[in-house]
Amino acid sequence: MHTPQQDSSAPLSKQSMGAAAVEAGRREPALEAINIVKNFGSLQVLRDVSMTLYRGDITAVVGDNGAGKSTFMKVLSGEHIPDGGQLCVNNREVQLRSTQDAQSYGIETVYQDLALAPDLSVAENVFLGREIKAPGWRGQIGMLDRQLMLEESTRILTELGAKLKSYRATTQSLSGGQRQGVAIARAIKWAQHAILMDEPTAALGTRQRDMVYAAIRAAAGRNLAVLLISHDLPQVLELADRIIVMRQGTAVANLNPAEVTVRDVVDVMLGAKGA
Ligand SMILES: Nc1ncnc2c1ncn2[C@@H]1O[C@H](COP(=O)(O)OP(=O)(O)OP(=O)(O)O)[C@@H](O)[C@H]1O
Ligand SMILES: [Mg+2]
């Protein structure tokens, strides 16, 4: 089956289109959520959350524990079906009923817990579930083009600045930072519109985080919309183009990182001013 996200030439054309749009001062919405509602039983966890993720932007979502950040992201990744509201990808309304649905619309997710298959190689992880068949009769009998997948994985990870000793080694032999780099490379490879990340550095040491932050920048540099959930506020201020603050299931503020301090963000998160 051929789907648009399998066109490996797409990221380059997207990049050039995006650059032109930025020069012209236009911001292109990649993913829009409008008045999203989500209930778990009688508990309303998301109340009319609206948010637009723009191409080339890193949008950080911050908030106290239980504010609804992960639940909101799971609505965007197709893991939770919302009880109300609309989702638009590339200005077209879509219904996401599964993570596969979201992937088919060009939305990829990177999880906190380094969700790779440990016994598979880097290349096998990047292409997991979306393997390239060998040409001709070999493909018809189910053989894979391992060389092409290896080359493509090596190319993406090299572009991200990953210095892996071997792309044939299983991912369990990699450091946490390297593994998260592989997960982001996989997302970049397949995302057409947006990459969603829930605490992608939470399981990592300080030094390993830098590689992941560089990979997040690289994703935005490829004109993808990036949503980053993080509790690391100093890093969010440095990395994000915009900060959305969630509190008790509502998006309460849209802040410009250039204009606020960590203290300001914490005050909004906790509702210290007024509430
Ligand atoms: N599957 C679920 N079933 C029932 N309640 C849930 C479920 N998932 C989340 N919740 C509840 O929804 C609320 C929001 O949780 P969520 O995980 O979205 O918060 P969060 O902002 O990601 O918090 P944290 O910063 O701790 O990760 C919490 O009260 C949580 O207990
Ligand atoms: Mg969470």
Higher pLDDT, 248 or 10: 248
Stretch 179-205: mean pLDDT, rounded? 88
pLDDT at 159: 81
* Residues within 5 Å of ion ligand 2, judged at the Cβ atom: 70
Taking the C-alpha atoms of residue 233 and residue 62, their distance in angstroms, rounded to an integer, is 8
What's the pLDDT score for residue 174? Answer: 84
pLDDT exceeding 90 applies to what percent of the chain? 57
Strand partners, 194: 107, 225
CB neighbourhood size of 258 (10 A): 7
Whose C-alpha lies nearest to ligand 1, atom 30? 66
User: How large is the average pLDDT for residues 24-45?
Assistant: 91
Q: Who has greater pLDDT, 78 or 275?
A: 78
- Residue 96: the pLDDT is 96
**Per-residue pLDDT at 220 exceeds 70:** yes
Q: Which among 97, 79, 78, 76 has a CA at the least distance from the CA of 34? A: 76
Domain ranges of the chain: 4-117+192-270
Q: Which residue did the predictor score with more confidence, 26 or 130?
A: 130
- pLDDT digit string, tens, across residues 100-146: 999 999 999 987 766 788 888 889 999 988 889 999 998 899 898 98
Does the C-beta of 69 come closer than 6 Å to ligand 1? yes
The per-residue pLDDT for 182 is 87
Q: For residue 64, which atom of ligand 1 is closest to its CA?
A: 25
- Per CATH, the homologous superfamily of domain 4-117+192-270 is P-loop containing nucleotide triphosphate hydrolases (3.40.50.300)
Q: What's the CA gap between 112 and 187, in Å, rounded?
A: 14
Q: Which ligand neighbours the alpha carbon of 45 most closely?
A: 1
- What's residue 17's pLDDT? 43
Ranges 72-81, 119-128, 184-193, 199-208: which has the least confidence:
199-208
Whether 63 is in the pocket of ligand 1, judged by its Cβ within 6 Å, is yes
What is the whole-number distance in angstroms between the Cα of residue 37 and the centre of ligand 2?
Answer: 17
- The pLDDT confidence band at residue 25, using thresholds 50, 70 and 90, is low
In this predicted structure, the answer to whether residue 14 has a pLDDT above a threshold of 50 is: no
Q: For 11-20, 80-89, 258-267, which range has the lowest pLDDT when averaged over its residues?
A: 11-20
Q: Which ligand is nearest to the CA of 62?
A: 1
CA–centroid distance, 140 to ligand 2, in Å, is 43
Which of 46, 71, 199 should be mutated for ligand 1, with most atoms under 8 A from CB? 71
Pairing of strands 58-63, 242-247: parallel
CA 151 to chain centre: 23
Look over the chain and give the mean of its residue pLDDT values, rounded to a whole number: 86
